[in-house]
Amino acid sequence: MAAIALFAVACGNDDTTTPEQETAKAVEGSYSGLMSMAVSGTVASESETSVKITAEANGTVTLSFPAMGNGGSMQLEAFDVTGVSVAASESGTYTLSKESFSATSGSINLEGSNLAGTVSNGEVRITMDVKPGSMPFAITFTFDTQAEPTPETASPASEIAGEYKGIMDMSVMGSSQGTSEMTLNLTEAEDGTVTISVPAMGEGAMSMGSFDITGVAVSKSEDGTCTLSLESFETLAGSTNLKGSNLTGTVSDKKLNMTMGIQPGAMPFAITFTFTPETTEAAE
């Protein structure tokens, strides 16, 4: 009976761990770094965050990701990826891997693939592809404890926002009907377009009140020239309805050139507006 009791005590104190469990324990912890979300190679969201690695009894680890994203379809609630394999190398680097997985982010089902990562000297890098819900494409997630946020660059719209002095010519069927000295104001909109504010101009039958043109697209070429474009628009000059078309322009060296066609009210033809710059520069 004494021998049986001794054997039972010995079994009860057996707390040995497997090599797999020790490897999982070696990478356990919370790691702070930069998380990026990219679609087709283009980064849509970056955020500084923390990822937690938890060792499990079966020798795998669970990766816990916090809520992330920039709103809309690119916004995810916190989720866990379980059953991630861990392998140790002679160099002391640990490798994380999982070919495919399913997870839940709030009420959204996630299908993931190609999870790969490394843990070395307290630094972690993890990549994986995740397809949320019915989204037709996958988002590539990259977490890196050594990465720095991408420096913010000014949008073309913000670069050209300002006041531009020049001459506005109003012509009908190629014949000038008069010119006006004026200042056009370009304002950046939240969607990356610009609003062009045009002051009152002209005399007599060709007089026109001030008006705004919204939603003008801006693109920038490699030589630094910004191009303005808007196929059609409607706006008001006082109580007069204006229908505009074919707005095109360029901003280069802080000088604005622009043309557009505008049909005021019931006028049966369009007036061509051509703006050319003075030598003065855009206000900062």
- pLDDT for 6 equals 42
Low-confidence ranges of the chain (pLDDT < 70): 1-15, 70-73, 152, 279-284
Give residue 149's identity as a one-letter amino acid code.
P
The tokens for 30 are 């919370």
- pLDDT for 7 equals 44
- pLDDT for 63 equals 97
Q: Do domains 19-144 and 156-277 have the same CATH topology?
A: yes
CA dihedral (162, 164, 170, 174) positive or negative: negative
Residue by residue, DSSP assigns 126-188 as EEEEEEETT-SSPEEEEEETT--PPPP---HHHHH-EEEEEEEEEEETTEEEEEEEEEEEEEE
Strands 94-105 and 79-88, by their bridges, are antiparallel
CA dihedral (74, 77, 82, 86) positive or negative: positive
The tokens 């900062």 sit on which residue? 284
Integer angstrom CA distances of residue 162 from 13, 186, 214, 224:
77, 5, 15, 17
Of 112, 116, 105, the residue nearest 131 (C-alpha): 112
CATH 3.40.50.720 assigned to domain 156-277? The reply is: no
- pLDDT for 278 equals 80
User: What would be the CATH architecture of the domain defined by 19-144?
Assistant: Beta Barrel (2.40)
Give the Cα separation of 229 and 234 in Å (integer).
14
Give residue 273's identity as a one-letter amino acid code.
F
- pLDDT for 4 equals 45
Cβ-proximal residues to 138 (8 Å cutoff; 6+ apart), any chain: 113, 129, 130, 131
- Residues 177-188 as b/e (b if ≥16 CB within 10 A, e otherwise) read bebbebebbbeb
Its pTM stands at: 0.53
Per domain, the residue ranges of the chain are 19-144, 156-277
- pLDDT for 108 equals 92
- pLDDT for 280 equals 45
Give the Cα separation of 85 and 83 in Å (integer).
6
- pLDDT for 15 equals 64
Give the Cα separation of 212 and 194 in Å (integer).
10
- pLDDT for 151 equals 73
